[in-house]
Amino acid sequence: MNILGDRIKKERENLKLTREDLAKRIGVSYSAVSMYEQGKREPNYNLIIKICKIFNCDADYLIGLTSIKKNKRNIITQNKNRMQQILELANGLTVKESNYLINQLNKSKIQIRGEWKDKWKI
């Protein structure tokens, strides 16, 4: 079983990257990426970090310690950052503009959740 290699290949293909593309982005040869995917060689720690950044995943997922691509702590941090961005954009709006913004966000949330449910058949 080659979880690390399988996940590198899966995530690379999900991003529609060739082995050559990934190799260039992480600074190794095509054959190194090929060997990682086949389980004949393992990337070092620094390469795993680079690969995780490209794939937008946690190292625990990539090396097979979890089946969850992103941990909750990272998602919460990202959500806090997004909320801060929204607050900065909303700063200085009139009450009418704020109400309009809230209305639009609620509509978007309903639409996004509906699309998500359709996609995942929930």
**What pLDDT shows up at residue 5?**
97
Average pLDDT, rounded, for the chain: 86
Is the pLDDT assigned to residue 51 strictly greater than 50?
yes
Give the Cα separation of 86 and 64 in Å (integer).
35
CA angle at 105 for the pair 101 and 106, rounded to the nearest 5°: 120
Average pLDDT value for residue range 111-118: 64
Q: How far is CA 68 from CA 8, 37, 63, 71, 99, in A?
A: 14, 20, 11, 7, 37
Q: Domain 3-62 in CATH: superfamily?
A: lambda repressor-like DNA-binding domains (1.10.260.40)
**What pLDDT shows up at residue 121?**
54
Confidence of residue 122 (pLDDT cuts 50, 70, 90): very low
Residue ranges of the domains in the chain?
A: 3-62, 72-120
Give the Cα separation of 53 and 113 in Å (integer).
27
Q: Of 12-16, 48-52, 71-75, 101-105, where does mean pLDDT reach its minimum?
A: 71-75
pTM of the entire predicted model: 0.60
